Amino acid sequence: MNSTAVAAPTVNARRNRGRRVAVIGSGSWGTTFAKVLTDAGCDVTIWARRPELANEIQVAKRNSQYLPGINLPKRLSATSDLGTALRGAELVFLAVPSQTLRQNLLDLEPFLDRRSVLVSLVKGVEKSTTMRMSEVIADTLDLPPERIAAVSGPNIALEIAKEQPTGAVASCADLAVAQEIATAASAPYFRTYVNTDVVGTELGGVLKNLIALAIGIVDGVGYGENTKAAIITRGLAEMTEFAVASGADAATLSGLAGLGDLIATCQSPLSRNNTAGRLIGQGYSQEETKEQMQQVAEGITSVPPVLELARERGIVMPIVEQVQMVLSGTMAPANLGPHLATEDDVPRPEQRFDAAQPGRWRRFVNRMKGSPA
């Protein structure tokens, strides 16, 4: 995995002058990311499905439904017309629900510039196909790898909208493209790094939602910090084993797109998946939870396809299996903690990787220390 920081924000602002980008989706994350891009110096147009929301962003520079109390940049433009949003956009950031991405891609295809790079901000898996979002983009629009990318990391939208510092990773098979995206998305309070491990970057964002659901469930039940720490730690092991079996670099899962995102999503009351899990742990049904939140918790829709992929790859994911049992009503929320990660009573190794894996970890640790491999 190649990983490096991008240039200072003041330099980025000069580099981004005149750079046209579009953000498709005006929920909390789409609007926040549009703010980041604007503050990084880009010329940004955000697309909102509802004309009244586009008008509020365009005129009042507010998104009162998803980001109450946040003033948006004066330079940020908004529209409900896809053609207007995409006109001249060299980077198109996608911030729509995972289960509607394919249809949104079909809708925007007639207006897409043939050189545009599509960047997924979506942390989910398509339920009907088990595809990651970059795979959905490739399958729907038949784009080459160098025109498909993803951005992921510890990104609680409201905190970033308040300009609380954080970081993220821009990932593309073409490192130069990842660097262009990172330059466009590095504001004074938002630092973007790069890698070429699209699989690991996307899967980190998908899998941490499932562990955050588990954390929310046991929090709703009333379990304490020991239980939650054990779930986070064992959850990271499940995430890493699944990702590596899918072709990812293990080091990605210990970075911003993996561990960083996992910590933020599991501990923040602003996390949609944590909140959904907590409500379910308190006895609310999935339908009642959805009504309470009025937002999509991607983790709930991602559990079945992730488990389907895990079975295909011979991966055992006890925590995610138990989350599914709670969601389906075959396990009481209070039982998720006691059954933490045990398939049976036989003591198991804490980490399970193939023979080549320790060497990869050793090289990663050596890189962090600055020593030769």
Residue 187 DSSP symbol: B
Residue the block writes with tokens 């986070």: 232
Residue found by looking up tokens 């640790």 in the block: 365
Element (H, E) at 360: helix 357-369
Is 61 catalytic? The answer is: no
Q: Which residue has the tokens 């059954």?
A: 339
**Tokens at residue 308, please?**
């389907």
The radius of gyration of the chain's CA atoms, rounded to the nearest angstrom, is 20
- Please pick, among 208, 228, 290, 369, the residue that the annotation labels catalytic: 208
Look-up: residue for tokens 């207007």?
84
Phi-psi region of 232 (alpha: psi -120 to 50; beta: other; left: phi over 0): alpha
Q: Which residues contact 70 (CB under 8 A, 6 or more apart)?
A: 35, 62, 63, 158, 161, 162
Q: What tokens does 151 get? A: 């951005």
Residues 6+ apart with CB under 8 A from 165: 189, 190, 191
The tokens describing 277, both together, are 């899990």
**Active-site residue set:** 208
